[in-house]
Amino acid sequence: MLADADRPRIREQAVALRPMVEQHVEVVDLIDNFVATELETDNIDFAMVLGGDGSMLRAAHLLGYEQLPILGVNLGRLGFLADLQPEQLPEVLPRVAAGEYRVISHLMFECEVLRNGKVIERALGLNEASVLAGPPFEILEIQLYVDAELVTTYSCDGLIVSSPVGSTAHNLSAGGPILRKDLQAFVISPINPHTLTNRPVVDSAERVYELRVPNPLEGTALVVDGKILCQPTAEDRIRITRSEAQFQLIEFSGYGYYRTLREKLGWGGRLKLDE
């Protein structure tokens, strides 16, 4: 079981739920900080993450290249990844114990920063890699290359390269499209592009994506899954490729992808008019 100790309410709920969970499955440990230096996964069948999508993201980073199937229990807000509610556990856990579930593998990516032909920074990501303008908050030029071919130069406040899992995060807020989580593709979404003809682009995850910032601002930053990886220079190339690691999510019949979108995004199908 993985929970966020920095949020006392979540830790208290995790402790309270543990006896009920142990009625159905064996709990090896309760890790409550997401910063364990070494996590032994040999005798673990799956990880249960208690929290929100941020907790799911931290769990994926903790597991690194030793990903386990993850069962997400939403103790946060929206919960696109952690979409089960605590009250559903008595129904779901017997199905987990009986093996009545499926594991869906999702794309993860490698983000590397190359300077003079050498990799100076590297990160494993699940949601997105973003170049953000930062102070003094002027228009930033960002070049996009796909398989070494120049696509365009964006004039914008930033650029997001998102996985399908991350398409409902920063990309969605920036007006980008929602990609089904099991697609093998990336979406490139400019933030506030100065040219209205610049629109989000979706392309295969088999390609190599590179970003260059010819004239970075003082506060320009490369951010991977919400954490600053570095401040790119004009000489740097930011390379994004699919990773061998795959995020593994436990799903059940009756708890489908479109049901999650419908409930989380309020896709009711009808407008409610004031009477």
| Residue 165 confidence (pLDDT) above 60 | yes
Query: Does 271 fall in a domain?
Result: no
Domain shared by 7 and 82, yes or no: yes
| Residue 241 confidence (pLDDT) above 70 | yes
Domain shared by 50 and 126, yes or no: no
The radius of gyration of the chain from alpha carbons, rounded to an integer in Å, stands at 20
Most confident of the ranges 30-34, 168-172, 235-239: 235-239
Domain shared by 90 and 124, yes or no: no
Domain shared by 139 and 62, yes or no: no
Q: Is 4 a catalytic residue?
A: no
Domain shared by 113 and 207, yes or no: yes
Domain span including residue 13: 2-101+252-264
What separation in angstroms does the CA of 156 have from each of 160, 231, 242? Answer: 11, 17, 25
Mean pLDDT of the 205-223 span:
98
pLDDT value of position 34: 67
Query: Does 275 fall in a domain?
Result: no
Domain shared by 145 and 220, yes or no: yes
Domain shared by 74 and 126, yes or no: no
| Residue 48 confidence (pLDDT) above 70 | yes
Confidence at 7, pLDDT banded by 50, 70, 90: confident
Which DSSP string do the residues of 137-196 spell out, in sequence order? Answer: ---EEEEEEETTEEEEEEEESEEEEE-TGGGGTHHHHTTPPP--TT--EEEEEEES-SST
**For the chain, percent of residues with pLDDT exceeding 70:** 93
**Among 4, 29, 45, 53, which one carries the catalytic annotation?**
53
Express each pLDDT in 68-107 by its tens digit: 999 999 887 767 888 888 999 999 999 999 999 999 999 9
CATH value at residue 90: 3.40.50.10330
Domain shared by 113 and 172, yes or no: yes
| Residue 268 confidence (pLDDT) above 70 | no
Query: Does 18 fall in a domain?
Result: yes
Domain shared by 24 and 112, yes or no: no
